[in-house]
Each structure stands twice: as C-alpha cells, then as structure tokens.
Amino acid sequence: MRSVRSRLSIGLAIFLAVLLIGQWLWLTFTIDRLIEKQVITRLQEETQTLVAHIHINAEGEILLDDRRLSSSYQRAFSGLYFSIQTPQQQLFSRSLWDFDLSTPALNFGEKATLYLEGPGQQPLMAVSAGYLKQGQQVTITVAEDIAWMLEDKTHFQWTFTTLSLLGVLALLGLQFWIVRRALRPLNKAKNELKLLGQGDIEKIDEQAPDEIRPLLVELNRLMASMVTKTRRSRQSLGNLAHRLKTQLTLLNQIADSEELKNDAVTKAAIYQQTQEIKQIIDRELKRARVSGLTLPGRGVDIHELVVSLADTLKRIYQDKQLIITCQVDKQLRFHGDREDLLELLGNIMDNACKWCQSRVELEIKNEKGIAIRVMDDGPGCHDDDLSALTQRGFRADESTPGSGLGLAIVFDIVESYDGTMQFAQSQKWGGLQVDIHLQASVAD
C-alpha cells in the first residue's frame, strides 16, 4: 500500500493536471470566441458601409463611391478585402489585386461567416451578407487577414501553459512541504516503533496529533501490562520449579534411605519417576518462556551467536578436527528470545557435530522469516526413521551416547514460533540435512 504522502501527492497532481487542462481549454475557447466575435462585428459594419456607398445605374452596373472607404482597400494585399456581387457583375477591392475572392451568392437577409485562403496564402475570416439594393440582389463579402489573431492565440497558449506549469510545480512543492510538515509526527512515531522493536527504547512518545495519540497511549499501556504480566509469570514459574526440584531432591534422598536400601525395585521406580518429572518441569518451563516472546527487546545478532557457538563446538569435538562452515547474513537479526535461538542452533549443530566425519555446514538467511539449514557428512538417517527423529527419547543409533531429547526440544521451540522443521538426506554430502523455517520477525 502506498504511503499517505505519496497518495496525497499523486491525488493533488492529478487534480491540478485536470484543472490545468480544463482551464486551458476553457480560456482558449473563450478568447477564440471573443476575438472572433469582435472581428465579425467589425466586418459586418464594413459590409453595411459598403452597402451605403454603392449605387446601381439604369444599366444594372455597380457604382462605388470609394472616397469614404478605408485606404486599406486601395493598398495591394493589405489584409482587408471586399467583394460585391450581383447577378450581372462582380466588383473586387483594389487590395485583392488580381486575386479572385469567390464566395457564394446569398439571398436577401442571409449571412455567413467563412474562413478562406487569401492572396499569399493569408488566412482570412470573411463575412458575407445578402442585401436588396435598388431592386437588385447584392452579396457583399468583407474579409480580413487573421494571421495576427492566430499568432496572438498561439502566444497566449504557450504563455498560459508555461505559467500554469510553473504554478503547478510551485503548488506541488508547497503541498509537499505542507504534507511533510503535517506528517512529521507520524514519521516520528514510525521511527520510535522501529527503535522499540530493536530494544533501544521502552516507551513511545505520546505527544502526537489527536488522530494517532490514542493509538500510542494504548500501545504503551499494552506493552507495560505485557511486561508486568510476563515478569510475574516467569517469576512464579521459577519459584514453582525451585520448589518442585526441592521436593524431587527429597524423594531421591528417600530412595537412598536405609529403609529402601535393599529394595532395588522400589528405588529404581522412584528414580525413574523423579527423572520423568524433572523432564516435564524443564519442558513446561521452556514452553512458558517461549509463550512470552512478545516482549519488545533488542534483536539477537545471529552472526555473532553462530560464531561463538561454532568455536564452542570445535573445542568440544576437537578430536574430530571439525570444519564448520557458516553462511549467515551479518545484518540479520532475530527478534525473539536469545536463549531459544541458542538452544535451537546448539542442539541441531551439536547433533550434526556428533554424527559427522569432519564437516558441518550451517546456512541462515532471510526468507519471509528465518530459514536455517544444517548439513553434515555423517552416515545420515534411514528414510523410515526421519519422521521419528523429533520424538522425545528416540535415538536412531543406540551405540552413541545421548538422551534423545535434543531434536525434540528443537521441535518444541520451532513449533512455538509457528515454524516448520524437516529432515532429509543431504544431496551434498549424504549426511543428515535439517531445514527449519521460523515465522518470527526479523530485521535487516
């Protein structure tokens, strides 16, 4: 979705463009009609003047008294011309020289406005009118060169267009400044939300316009409530775990007492039950911690965490002379619980290091979330056992020490982030390949 600023700018630009085109068309048409009307009025007056100065003799010839006519009619190609026609004769102004200004004959009372091409390809506007003079039907046409009008029209159009464009640019600049100033509080809130997501601040400034202030106030209230509830929940769970572990210790002490020293069966049963209870406590504590991940906090630097983890694993498995290849975007950050990410990566990397010959590869990238892939060059896993790897206590090879809980814990963490976890044979080395995708928020 476009930003408010871009939508306002585009909307105003379209409105101004439509307004400019509408004004241009309206003014051009209006000025055209105004000048044309003035020219037509003047030419009609000229036709009436000519009617007043013509006389038809007994032989039907037209006689014109040109002493009171404009001198432009006497100057060749002056731009002002006339033509007087009767059924027997046609008389032209001297300004036409030998150019034939032919126009149709009109009946008495008829008028016509014509656009003609005059001498020297002059654009002419002509007015013709039909008169009855001394019983004779007379058609008088007066034409004027309108090149000046067309030039003025073109000049006006270019001037008006240029000034309008400059005005539009000025208005767009002013609008951009006004919108930017008006949206400054929104930009401030946006930047503070980004800082909040990175953990650089704990509260958003509530000094904002009335339209968004209730939203910011409610957001701060929800965050404060969430932090308080999460802290209380974790404290309560920690206290509960401590008390339960104390009771488990007492049960183990009872199992070691003199009364049960010779009862190996009961003693083993107590140890088994206490161990299962301890695993349940650890698992539920982890689930509780994962469910509280909506806290704002600083994103986890994945690259830094992976480098530290790889160094630790190399020291643990130094007898294998491990080659651990890590491909992680240095700018990628994970917005979630650091301990969860450490336990997730630690378990799958530890599993890969345990089973590999000497090579382990880790790849982490941003794909609408966090995509993690771990491969090793070990023996891999039989296809029938791949689906059972996440079952708590399952071990594909009983000859190697382990509890069978690592991948199950990873699966619990992945599930808590609405993620997916898949196992396959590595096409590169033939060992086990683990693909994990987390839906948790990331920041580049």
DSSP per residue, 73-115: GTSTT-SEEEEEE-SS-EEE-GGGTT---------TT-EEEEE
Give the model's pLDDT for residue 412: 81
Q: Which two tokens stand for residue 219?
A: 């957001």
State residue 24's pLDDT score: 81
For residues 124 and 81, is the Cβ–Cβ distance under 8 A?
A: yes
Indicate the pLDDT class of residue 136, thresholds 50, 70 and 90: confident
pLDDT-derived band at 406, boundaries 50, 70, 90:
low
Confidence check: pLDDT of 413 > 60:
yes
CA quadruple 429, 434, 435, 441: dihedral positive or negative? negative
List all residues 6 or more positions away from 31 whose beta carbon is below 8 Å from its beta carbon. Answer: 153, 156
pLDDT value at position 372?
Answer: 92
For residue 138, what are the contacts with CB-CB under 8 A and spacing of at least 6?
Answer: 51, 54, 56, 62, 84, 85, 86, 130, 131, 132
Average pLDDT over residues 6-18: 80
Which pLDDT score, from 0 to 100, does residue 373 have?
A: 93
Is the pLDDT at 398 greater than 50? The verdict is no
Q: Residue 293's pLDDT is what?
A: 45
Over range 314-333, report the average pLDDT.
Answer: 85
Q: pLDDT tens for residues 32-67?
A: 888 888 888 988 888 888 888 888 887 778 888 777
Q: Which 3 state secondary structure label does DSSP give 374?
A: strand
Q: Could you report the per-residue pLDDT of 163-222, keeping only the tens digit for each?
A: 888 888 888 888 888 878 877 777 777 787 777 766 667 777 777 777 777 878 887 787
The pLDDT value given to residue 440: 56
Residue 291 confidence (pLDDT) = 47
pLDDT at residue number 360: 92
pLDDT for res 212:
74
| Both structure tokens of 342 | 């450490």
| Single pTM value for the model | 0.42
Interval 216-230 mean pLDDT: 76
> In whole numbers, what is the pLDDT of the chain averaged over residues?
79
* Those residues with Cβ within 8 angstroms of residue 232's Cβ, 6 or more apart along the chain or in another chain: none
Q: Which range has the worst mean pLDDT, 277-286, 298-307, 415-424?
A: 277-286
Lowest mean pLDDT among 111-125, 322-336, 397-411: 397-411
| Other beta carbons within 10 Å of 364 | 21
Distance from C-alpha of 200 to C-alpha of 304, rounded to nearest angstrom: 19
DSSP state of 318: G
Stronger pLDDT, 252 or 325, i.e. the higher one = 325
The tens digit of pLDDT for each residue in 360-393 reads: 999 998 888 889 999 998 887 776 666 656 554 4
Question: Which comes out higher in pLDDT, residue 263 or 72?
Answer: 72
pLDDT confidence of residue 384: 64
Burial of 239 (0-12, 13-18, 19+ CB in 10 A): exposed
Lookup: tokens for 247: 């009771």
Flag the least confident range among 220-224, 277-281, 394-398: 394-398
Instruction: Give pLDDT, residue 387.
Output: 62
**For residues 281 and 238, what is the distance between their CA atoms, to the nearest angstrom?**
10
Q: What is the full DSSP assignment across 196-207?
A: HHHTS-SS----
pLDDT bin (cut points 50, 70, 90) of residue 25 is confident
In this predicted structure, the answer to whether residue 81 has a pLDDT above a threshold of 60 is yes
pLDDT at residue 404, rounded to an integer: 44
User: Quick one: tokens of 18?
Assistant: 């439509």
CA distance 150 to 172: 32
Question: What average pLDDT does this structure show over 112-140?
Answer: 89
pLDDT of residue 127: 92
What number is the average pLDDT over the span 63-78?
83
Give the distance between the most distant pair of CA atoms in the chain: 163
